[in-house]
């Protein structure tokens, strides 16, 4: 059999590897393009162009960086040697020059050739397509599920703008005279939305949207108007001389409702809902609102802020104020800092900035106050809370000033923490002049001093053993004669069967740590935090590393001094904006627009309509029970109707159904028709309008007065 057949078999196997490698690269590039298309279509309509560009770039990169699509023949022979043991690692002989082979190698070459020719091409190359196909399946799943997970995307909005059928269709009654109508909604520029069309009178538009109505009637009419909020009338303009095409334009800034009046005949109520533009939501993730930079920590603040807005963010600025000095010599300096991230009308921003306190001119003892001010593309500004960062002043901690006249919340011997810091710093300065054994001895002794201070501190929280702190004591566990408890020299033998007496004989009861009542809960929490810092300092001193113990020692001292007194409270500056005075009206003595307080109170008192609303509820209940409607009650019902008109103008979604029902009830009040369903709807709106009744003070009855008189008379008799 010719050796050429074996070479052809190897070449076919190499081509199979090349084919699967090319297909794998195409599948990976296609997966990346699909994911890109799924993400881009959430914000942009030309997502297909971007995804095709990504497909082309990824194909070029994959074919340049990947070497799988051009495998060498020696790799193919190595694969055959590994997967086919019968060739005995001799597949490479088929590629060698026959003149350079020995007789034994030629025989082996013929044997390998006959084996390969009889063997089918392996399917191993196709297995490398499993991963690209899995990636493509995941990308297709993202393409299908992402629009459902993000229903407020720009693409969904754009499609709803173009296709009115995709918008929420509200069932409404349209006058039969109107044959066709269309409403064009042009959102304001800050929303970034396109003009959309709809075929329903009920509106849900953005704040400041320009709305255009176009109506066609079945016949020529003389007058076509809109009645807005049951009080404002707008006349529509004729679009041609036939009197059948009418138009109207209006910029909507307030919610409400309207009706179409065709030659004096009113239509049903149509709701108008306004989508307000929310200000930028600011969330400061890092740092905490009150933070302190202790000794040994880097003097910087890693600021992390999350901004979100419904339409887009145009600007975000950090307003920082540094305070230095004490008492009346405090000086303030303001800074306006920008973020390094470019802000281009994004809806969500994750901003980070590192504030170098030294670059702001701060030193030990100074404080930083800052807040974030963000502006959306509509010009609305929002401001975060004030955040405080202070740099701990070690010199002030070591100072004795203020101890004699400060608020003494902790015992005197707690101030020995200052001496431990002094001794630790002295040990570090003398490190190079003393022996290693002496250094470790003095460090361990400082750890013992820290331990004694910590144990004294723990007694104020009811912790009498080290087991409460994080480890057991060095001595024997249990009690001794001088532990401060009355153990009793000899206990009497408990009575037979007295379980409590037997337990008291062997049990030693102490107060629990949480039952200690020396301090308030907030103070106790800070004392516990001090205990943790002392424990950490002791750990470093006992392991002969006083340099690492210093930050814990300073923080423990700071917590103790915070218990004694508070250094300074920051109050933001406020400016009272008064109404500007008009120079031409000063000193004229004109009092025409000034009303008396009595007249104002009388005017306000007339606005209380809760009595009429409750009366209307009782009238509606009587009408539902079968009573006949009295024409004299229509005055109260119309007053309630006007109250519902005002409420529906402010909140149409909540009160417009009740207003419709109330108008039906008023119109059919004196008839014998069944209006129970309309009355129930009106009652729900009236109850919502009344709200929860507030409790009012009332005068107590006479029983308590009689009792007090009897008690007083009895006292007089006793005194006599």
- pLDDT at residue 509 in the model: 54
Q: Are 561 and 533 in contact (CB under 8 A)?
A: no
Asked if 347 and 310 count as a contact pair (C-beta separation under 8 A), the reply is: yes
In this prediction, residue 483 carries a pLDDT of: 47
Number of residues written out for the chain? 720
**73 & 135 share domain:** yes
Judge residue 288's burial from the number of C-beta atoms within 10 Å of its C-beta, 0-12 exposed, 13-18 middle, 19 or more buried: exposed
Domain end position, chosen among 241, 275, 309: 275
Average pLDDT (221-245) is: 89
> How does pLDDT run across 138-157, given as a tens digit for each residue?
888 888 887 666 544 444 34
Q: How high is the pLDDT of residue 524?
A: 75
Domain presence at residue 316: yes
Question: What is the domain range of residue 51?
Answer: 3-147
Cα three-residue angle 532-536-539, rounded to 5 degrees: 140
Residues 195, 323: one domain? no
Task: Provide DSSP, 485-537.
Answer: ----SSPPPPPTT-HHHHHHHH------GGG--SS-HHHHHHHHHHHHHHHHH
Residue predicted with more confidence, 346 or 573 = 346
550 in Cβ contact with 431 (< 8 Å): no
Q: Which two tokens stand for residue 666?
A: 């008023």
533 lies in the same domain as 549: yes
Give the mean pLDDT of the chain.
76
**CATH code for the domain in which residue 251 is found:** 2.60.40.10
Residue 585 resides in a domain: no
Shared domain for 102 and 177, answered yes or no, is no
Q: What is the pLDDT of residue 498?
A: 65
Does residue 555 sit in the same domain as residue 408?
A: yes
Mean pLDDT across the stretch 244-265? 91
Residue 681 lies in a domain: yes
pLDDT band at 228 (very low <50, low <70, confident <90, very high): very high
Domains contained in the chain, number: 5
Q: Are 309 and 347 in contact (CB under 8 A)?
A: yes
Q: With contact defined as beta carbons under 8 Å apart, do 52 and 41 qualify?
A: no
Domain identity same for 388 and 401: no
Higher confidence at residue 507 or residue 483? 507
pLDDT of amino acid 461:
66
Output Rg (C-alpha) for the chain, integer angstroms. Answer: 43
The per-residue pLDDT for range 278-296, each reduced to its tens digit, is: 999 999 998 888 888 877 7
| pLDDT band with cut points at 50, 70 and 90 for residue 692 | very low
What percentage of the chain has pLDDT greater than the value 70?
Answer: 73
Cα distances (Å, whole numbers) of residue 114 to 14, 77, 88, 89, 183:
19, 15, 13, 15, 82
pLDDT of the residue at 164: 37
Q: Residue 302 is encoded by which pair of tokens?
A: 């890693």
Last residue of a domain, one of 275, 302, 323: 275
pLDDT-derived band of residue 209, with 50, 70 and 90 as boundaries? very high
Q: Is 70 inside a domain boundary? A: yes
Q: Residue 65 has which token pair?
A: 């960086």
| Average pLDDT score over residue span 222-227 | 90
pLDDT score recorded for residue 471 = 39
Q: What is the pLDDT, as a whole number, of residue 1?
A: 45
Candidates 533, 582, 541; CA nearest to 561 is: 533
* Nearest Cα residue to 109 out of 235, 117, 647, 169: 117
Please report which confidence band the pLDDT of residue 252 belongs to, taking 50, 70 and 90 as the band edges: very high
Q: Is the pLDDT of residue 669 over 80?
A: yes
Do 433 and 452 have their domain in common? yes
pLDDT in tens, 626-649: 788 788 888 888 888 888 888 888
Dump the DSSP string for 164-182.
Answer: GGGS--------TTEEEEE
Higher pLDDT, 434 or 455: 434
In terms of domains, do 538 and 684 share one? no
Closest CA to 312 of 403, 436, 188: 188
3-state SS assignment for residue 473 = coil
Residues 6+ positions from 159 with CB-CB distance below 8 Å: 166
Distance CA 629, CA 633 (A): 8
pTM: 0.49
Residues in CB range of 644: below 8 A, 6 or more apart: 655, 658, 659, 662, 682, 685, 686, 689
Instruction: Count CA atoms within 13 Å of residue 471 on its CB side.
Output: 10
Let me know whether 549 and 424 are in one domain: yes
Domain boundary among 366, 392, 418: 392
Task: Report how far residue 156's alpha carbon sits from residue 163's, in angstroms, rounded to the nearest whole number.
Answer: 11
pLDDT of 488 reads 47
Judge residue 596's burial from the number of C-beta atoms within 10 Å of its C-beta, 0-12 exposed, 13-18 middle, 19 or more buried.
Answer: exposed
Q: Which of 97-111, 339-353, 501-515 has the lowest mean pLDDT?
A: 501-515
Distance CA 451, CA 459 (A): 13
Query: Any idea what DSSP says for residue 357?
Result: T
Residue 356 belongs to some domain of the structure: yes
The CA distance from 633 to 366, in Å, is 73
DSSP secondary structure string for all residues of 539-552: HHHHTT-HHHHHHH
Characterize 624-655 residue by residue with b for buried, 16 or more Cβ atoms within 10 angstroms of its Cβ, and e for exposed.
beeeebeeebeebbbebbbbbbebbbeebeeb
Band (pLDDT 50/70/90 cuts) for residue 258 is: very high
* pLDDT of 405 above 60: no
Dihedral of CA atoms 88, 93, 95, 99 in degrees, nearest 10, equals -170
Tell me, yes or no, whether 121 and 11 share the same domain.
Answer: yes
Q: Is residue 587 part of a domain?
A: no
- The whole-number pLDDT of residue 2 equals 52
pLDDT band at 667 (very low <50, low <70, confident <90, very high): confident
Which residue(s) pair with 140 in the sheet? none
Q: Are 368 and 389 in contact (CB under 8 A)?
A: yes
Q: Which residue has the higher pLDDT, 618 or 98?
A: 618
Furthest-apart CA atoms within the chain: distance in Å: 149
Query: DSSP code of 484?
Result: S
545 shares a domain with 425: yes
Of the listed ranges 267-276, 613-622, 692-701, the least confidently predicted one is: 692-701
Look at residue 207 and give its three-state secondary structure: coil
The domain that holds 323 is classified in CATH as: 2.60.40
Q: What is the pLDDT of residue 466?
A: 53
Residue 663 resides in a domain: yes
pLDDT digit string, tens, across residues 2-26: 555 767 777 777 777 778 888 888 8
Q: What's the whole-number mean pLDDT along residues 453-468?
A: 65
Residue 575 confidence (pLDDT)? 53
pLDDT higher than threshold 80 for residue 474: no
- For residue 427, CA distances in Å to 14, 29, 423, 656 come to 74, 65, 6, 81
Q: Is residue 123 part of a domain?
A: yes
Task: Note whether 268 and 218 are same-domain residues.
Answer: yes
**27, 59, 253 from 135: Cα distances, Å:** 8, 15, 49
Given pLDDT bands bounded at 50, 70 and 90, which one contains residue 69?
A: low
Mean per-residue pLDDT for 506-526? 59
pLDDT of residue 697: 52
Contacts 24+ apart (CB under 8 A), 540-549: 541/424, 541/443, 541/444, 541/446, 541/447, 541/450, 542/443, 542/444, 542/447, 544/439, 544/440, 544/443, 544/444, 545/443, 546/424, 546/427, 546/428, 546/443, 546/446, 547/428, 549/424, 549/446
How far is 485 from 476, CA to CA, in rounded Å? Answer: 17
Q: Which is more confidently placed, 202 or 587?
A: 202
Dihedral in degrees, nearest 10, Cα atoms 114, 118, 124, 129: 120
């Amino acid at each position: 059999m010719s050796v050429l057949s074996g070479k052809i078999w190897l070449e076919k196997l190499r081509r199979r590897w090349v084919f699967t490698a090319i297909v794998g690269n195409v599948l990976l590039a296609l997966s990346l393009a699909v994911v890109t298309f799924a993400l881009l279509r959430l914000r942009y309509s030309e997502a297909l162009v971007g995804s095709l560009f990504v497909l082309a770039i990824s194909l070029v990169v994959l074919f340049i960086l990947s070497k799988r699509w051009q495998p060498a023949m020696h790799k193919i022979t190595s694969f055959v040697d590994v997967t086919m043991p019968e060739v005995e690692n001799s597949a490479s002989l088929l590629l060698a020059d026959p003149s350079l082979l020995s007789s034994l190698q030629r025989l082996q070459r013929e044997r390998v050739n006959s084996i390969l020719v009889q063997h089918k091409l392996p399917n191993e190359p196709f297995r490398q397509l499993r991963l690209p196909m899995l990636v493509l399946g995941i990308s297709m799943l993202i393409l299908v599920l992402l629009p459902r997970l993000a229903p407020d995307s720009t693409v969904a909005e754009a499609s709803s703008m173009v296709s009115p059928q995709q918008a929420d269709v509200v069932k409404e009654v349209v006058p039969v005279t109107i044959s066709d109508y269309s409403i064009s909604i042009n959102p304001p520029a800050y929303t970034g939305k396109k003009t959309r069309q709809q075929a329903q009178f009920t509106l849900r538009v953005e704040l400041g949207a320009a709305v255009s109505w176009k109506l066609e009637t079945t016949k020529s009419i003389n007058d076509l108007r809109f009645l807005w909020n049951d009080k404002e009338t707008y006349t529509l303009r004729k679009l041609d001389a036939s009197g059948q095409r009418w138009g109207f334009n209006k910029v909507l800034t307030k919610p409400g409702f309207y009706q179409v009046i065709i030659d004096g005949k009113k239509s049903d109520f149509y709701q108008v809902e306004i989508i307000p533009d929310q200000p930028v939501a600011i969330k400061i993730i890092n740092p905490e609102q009150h933070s302190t930079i202790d000794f040994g920590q880097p003097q910087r603040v890693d600021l992390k802020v999350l901004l979100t807005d419904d339409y887009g963010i145009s600007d975000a600025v950090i307003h920082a104020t540094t305070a230095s000095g004490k008492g009346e010599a405090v000086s303030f300096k303001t800074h306006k800092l920008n973020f390094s991230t470019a802000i281009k009308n994004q809806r969500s921003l994750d901003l980070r900035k590192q504030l170098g306190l030294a670059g702001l001119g701060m030193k030990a003892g100074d404080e930083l106050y800052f807040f974030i001010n963000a502006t959306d593309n509509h010009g609305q500004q929002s401001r975060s809370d004030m955040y405080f960062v202070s740099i701990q002043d070690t010199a002030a901690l070591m100072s004795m000033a203020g101890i004699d006249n400060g608020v003494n919340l902790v015992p005197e011997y707690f101030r020995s923490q200052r001496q431990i810091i002094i001794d630790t710093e002295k040990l570090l300065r003398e490190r190079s002049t003393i022996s290693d054994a002496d250094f470790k001895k003095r460090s361990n002794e400082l750890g013992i001093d820290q331990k004694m201070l910590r144990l004294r501190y723990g007694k104020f929280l009811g912790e009498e053993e080290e087991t409460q702190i994080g480890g057991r004591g060095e001595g024997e566990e249990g009690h001794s004669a001088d532990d401060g408890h009355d153990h009793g020299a000899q206990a009497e033998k408990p009575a037979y069967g007295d379980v409590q007496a037997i337990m008291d004989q062997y049990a030693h009861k102490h107060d629990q740590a949480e039952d200690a009542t020396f301090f308030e809960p907030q103070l106790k929490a800070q004392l516990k935090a001090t205990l943790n810092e002392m424990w950490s300092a002791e750990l470093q001193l006992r392991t002969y590393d006083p340099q690492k113990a210093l930050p814990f020692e300073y923080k423990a001292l700071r917590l103790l001094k915070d218990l004694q007194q508070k250094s300074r409270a920051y109050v933001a500056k406020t400016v009272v904006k008064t109404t500007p005075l008009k120079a031409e009206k000063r000193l004229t003595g004109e009092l025409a627009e000034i009303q008396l307080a009595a007249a104002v109170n009388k005017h306000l008192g007339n606005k209380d309509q809760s009595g009429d609303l409750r009366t209307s509820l009782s009238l509606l209940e009587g009408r539902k029970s079968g009573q006949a409607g009295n024409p004299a009650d229509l005055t109260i019902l119309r007053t309630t109707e006007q109250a519902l008109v005002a409420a529906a103008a402010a909140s149409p979604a909540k009160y417009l159904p009740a207003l419709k029902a109330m108008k039906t009830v008023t119109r059919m009040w004196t008839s014998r028709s069944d209006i129970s369903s309309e009355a129930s709807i009106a009652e729900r709106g009236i109850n919502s309008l009344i709200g929860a009744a507030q409790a009012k003070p009332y005068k107590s009855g006479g029983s308590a007065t009689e009792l007090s008189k009897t008690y007083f008379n009895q006292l007089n008799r006793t005194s006599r």
